[in-house]
Amino acid sequence: MQIWLQKIHSVNANRNLSVCSKICDELSGALLNYDYFPDDLFDFLLTLLSSKDYSDKPGVWNFILVVNNARDELSLDQKRRFLDAVVQGYKDYEDGDLCFAICDYIARNIPPRDARSMLLELKNKESEKSKKLQGCADQGLFIVDQEIKRNAGSPMQ
């Protein structure tokens, strides 16, 4: 994992998206060997999302997709720690794609009442950001509303 962090930190911004995509592919491949999310791989993700050295690099948002794809392998503690990390770090994130990926993840993977509460907290944090970084939480809230409507019409309900 340390080599992944070094690659993300040292590559120039123009290549970072492709570097992150490649590392995400490697990480996703490594996760196929487990029926749980190994702590060392999880800690790598938390480092990415908790440090300005990494979180604002182009392409880091792809790691949210890895978490989403492996959400069933996360322990309850890991889910809590992941959400705590992104909610705590959100105020400092300056990459709009990362902000949107986080809001989308919350909207689609957290029970609606909790998702709404988290997204309102993120919206409050967005109010202190530049205009170009505002609106991701609103998009997340829209997704929550759409998920509620979709599930209300489901024959399983």
Average pLDDT over residues 57-68: 94
Domain assignment of residue 23, yes or no: yes
Range of the domain at 95: 2-152
- What CATH number is associated with residue 88? 1.25.40
Check: CB of residue 8 under 8 Å from CB of residue 47.
no
Burial group, residue 127, by CB count within 10 angstroms (0-12, 13-18, 19+):
exposed
Domain tally, the chain:
1
Q: What is the pLDDT of residues 66-111, one digit of tens each?
A: 999 999 999 999 999 999 999 999 999 999 999 999 999 999 999 9
Q: What is the pLDDT of residue 103?
A: 98
Q: Could you tell me the pLDDT band of residue 154, with boundaries at 50, 70 and 90?
A: low
Helix (H, G, I), strand (E, B) or coil at 43: helix
Q: How much is the pTM?
A: 0.90
